[in-house]
Every structure is written in C-alpha cells, then in structure tokens.
Copies of this chain bind each other. A is one copy, B any other.
Amino acid sequence: MQDYELLQDGLALMALGMGVVFVFLTILVISVTLMSKLIGRFEPAPVVAETSKSSPQSAAPSGQNDEMMAVISAAVHRYRSTRRR
C-alpha cells in the first residue's frame, strides 16, 4: 500500500519535474531569442559592441581607472621621493 503510494509519488514527481524543466527552458529559449532580437534591433551588434567597449574607457574613466591612476601616481610619488633622498 505505502509502496504503491511511493511509486505514485515518484511517478508524479518525475512527470512534474521533467515538465517544469522543459517549460522553464522553453520560456528561456523564447526570452533569449527575444532578447537577442531586441538587442540586435536597437543596437546593430558589431558597431555598438565596439562603441560600448571603447567609449567608457575613454569618456568615463571613473571607477577602476581612477583607482589605477591613484595607484600609479602614488607609485610615481613614492619613486620620486625615494630617488630624491
């Protein structure tokens, strides 16, 4: 009796599980395809990709670049003060 119930539960979970996996990944396929199309439409991939890659580096070198600059300038300062001594 209980064994039968276990079997039934297992079968239900198998069906449900595979179903959810397929449904979820189907939704993902659709979403990804839509996303790629949207991105492709609004921003023609190759050109934009390069722009978005180069522009932040030249135009908005804030975050890490800043840090980099500070580190470099500190290093320069250090080097200079060492030399002078």
B-binding residues in A (CB < 8 A): 45-47, 49-50, 82, 84-85
Cβ of A46: which chain B residues have Cβ within 8 Å of it? 84-85
* Closest Cβ–Cβ distance, residue A56 to chain B (whole Å): 16
Q: State the copy count for this chain.
A: 3
How far, in whole Å, are A49 and B81 apart by their CA atoms in the complex? 11
Residue in contact with A85 in the complex, picked from B50, B84, B85, CB distance below 8 Å = B50
Name the residue on B nearest A44 (C-beta).
B85
* Closest Cβ–Cβ distance, residue A46 to chain B (whole Å): 4
* Closest Cβ–Cβ distance, residue A43 to chain B (whole Å): 11
Name the residue on B nearest A50 (C-beta).
B85
Name the residue on B nearest A85 (C-beta).
B46
Cβ of A49: which chain B residues have Cβ within 8 Å of it? 82, 85
Cβ of A82: which chain B residues have Cβ within 8 Å of it? 49
